[in-house]
């Protein structure tokens, strides 16, 4: 889980939350207005990757990925793959740790 938090802080979280942008056109003389909502692609930060706020967000994503819940937090493409990998490996590693402890107690 520590590796996942560090990876998310380093490359998995965008430098800022992408804002939604709306553009619209109003036809002359009134009528139906058409809006187009667009969201920018999350960008990796160039500096300040390891801050308290990013740690808190990365920890939240990591803890939620262990119990197979999705977080509404925006992530970069690398962050999405990191979370998918952690959803598979972390429960397996936790299960193996439980089995190892059980084996030690059994003796």
Q: pLDDT value at position 36?
A: 66
Please give the structure tokens belonging to residue 62: 């990591």
Averaged pLDDT, 53-73: 75
Q: pLDDT value at position 51?
A: 83
Range of the domain at 60: 2-17+47-106
Structural domain includes residue 30: no
The Cα 66–Cα 50 span in angstroms is 22
Model pTM greater than 0.85?
A: no
Structural domain includes residue 41: no
Structural domain includes residue 25: no
Torsion angles phi and psi, residue 19, rounded to 5: -90, 145
- Residue 13 buriedness (CB in 10 A; 0-12 / 13-18 / 19+): buried
State pLDDT tens for residues 32-50. Answer: 766 667 666 666 777 788 8
Structural domain includes residue 34: no
Please check whether residue 33 is in contact with residue 26, taking contact to mean a CB–CB distance below 8 angstroms.
Answer: yes
Q: How many domains does the chain have?
A: 1
């Amino acid at each position: 889980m520590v590796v996942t938090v560090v990876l998310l802080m380093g490359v998995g979280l965008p430098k800022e939350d992408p804002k939604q942008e709306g553009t619209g056109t109003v036809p002359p003389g009134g009528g139906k207005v058409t809006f187009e909502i667009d969201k920018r692609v999350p960008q990796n930060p160039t500096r300040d990757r390891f801050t308290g706020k990013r740690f808190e967000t990365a920890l939240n994503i990591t803890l939620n990925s262990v119990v197979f819940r999705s977080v509404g937090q925006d992530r970069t493409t690398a962050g999405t793959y990191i979370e998918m990998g952690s959803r598979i490996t972390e429960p397996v590693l936790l299960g193996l740790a439980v089995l190892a402890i059980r084996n030690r107690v059994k003796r």
